[in-house]
Structure 1
Amino acid sequence: MYDRILVPTDGSPSAEAAARHGLVIAEAFGASVHVISVTGERERDERLAKAQAKDAISHLEELFEQESDLSCQSVIEQGTPYEAILSYASENDIDLIVMGTHGRRGLSRVLLGSVTERVIRLSNDPVVAVPPHAIGREREGYDKILIPTDGSPGATAAVEHGISIAERLEASVRVLCVIEGETGLPPIGDALRDEAVEVLEAVSERASDRDVSLTTHVQPGIPHEVINNFVSAHGIDLITMGTHGRSGIRRHLLGSVTERVLRTSDAPVLTVRQDTG
Structure 2
Amino acid sequence: MYKEIYVPVDNSDYSNQACVIGVDVARQFGGRVAGCHAYAAKMHDVRFRQMESGLPEEFRDEDEMKRQRKIHDQLITKGLEIITDSYIDVLEPLCEKYDVELVRRSLEGKNFKVIVEDVNQNDFDLVVIGAMGMAAVKDTVLGTVTERVVRRLERADTLIVKDLDRSPFEHIVVAVDGSAKSLGGLKRAIELAREFGGTVEAISVFDPYFHYAMFHSIAGVLSSKAQKVFRFKEQEKLHEEIIDSGLAKIYTAHLEIAKKIAEDEGVELKTTLLAGKP
- TM-score normalised by the chain length of structure 1: 0.70
Give matches, 1:201-240, under 5 Å.
Answer: 201-223=256-278
CA distance in 2, matches of 1:24, 1:221: 36
Residue in 2 aligned with 1:135?
164
Distance 1:43 1:105 in 2: 18
Higher mean C-alpha deviation, range 16-25 or range 86-95: 86-95
Corresponding residue to 1:177 among 181, 189, 204 = 204
* 3-state SS, counterpart of residue 43 of structure 2: coil
Matched, 1:99 2:129: yes
Work out which of the residue numbers 66, 72, 91 in structure 1 matches 2:102.
72
Q: Of residues 62, 68, 74 in structure 1, which corresponds to 2:93?
A: 62
CA deviations over 1:168-226 (Å, ceiling 9, x no partner) = 223221101123355xxx99x92122112101011122222213221111122333xxx
Residue identity matched to 1:191: G
Q: 8 Å contact 2:10–2:87 — kept in the other structure?
A: yes
Matched AA of 2:95? F
1:109 aligns to what SS in structure 2? Answer: coil
RMSD of equivalent CA atoms: 2.5
TM-score (norm 2): 0.70
Is it true that 1:115 corresponds to 2:116 in the alignment? no
- The Cα shift of 1:33 comes to 0.8
5+ residue gaps, structure 1: 224-277
2:84 paired residue number: 53
Query: Which residue pairs with 2:246 in the alignment?
Result: 191
State the match for 1:42 in structure 2.
43
Structure with greater proportional helix content: 2
Give 1:61 deviation, angstroms.
1.4
1:154: Cα distance to partner? 4.1
User: Percent identical across equivalent pairs?
Assistant: 26
Name the structure 2 match of 1:244: none
Q: Is the 8 A contact 1:39 1:81 kept in 2?
A: yes
AA of the residue aligned to 2:192: I
CA shift for structure 1 position 63: 3.0
Larger radius of gyration: 2
Give the CA deviation at 1:107. Answer: 2.4
Aligned to 1:226: none
Counterparts of 1:176 and 1:24, CA distance in 2: 27
Secondary structure in 2 aligned to 1:207? helix
Deviates most, 113-122 or 20-29: 20-29
Note closer, same or farther for the CA distance 1:12–1:220 as it changes in structure 2 (3 Å cut).
same
In structure 2, runs of 5+ residues without a counterpart are 46-75, 210-239
2:30 corresponds in structure 1 to 30
Q: Distance in 2 between matches of 1:57 and 1:181?
A: 49
Aligned letter for 2:88?
I
CA distance in 2, matches of 1:21, 1:109: 24
Which amino acid is the alignment partner of residue 8 of structure 2? P
What amino acid maps onto 1:102 in structure 2? M
Q: How far 1:111 sits from its partner (Å)?
A: 5.1
2:202–2:271 contact (8 Å) kept in structure 1: yes
User: Aligned residue for 1:167?
Assistant: 194
Contact 1:166 1:212 in 2 (8 A): no
* Contact residue 7 and residue 19 of structure 2 kept, 8 A: yes
Which of the numbers 118, 124, 128 marks the counterpart of 1:88?
118
CA distance in 1, matches of 2:12, 2:140: 19
Aligned pair count? 216
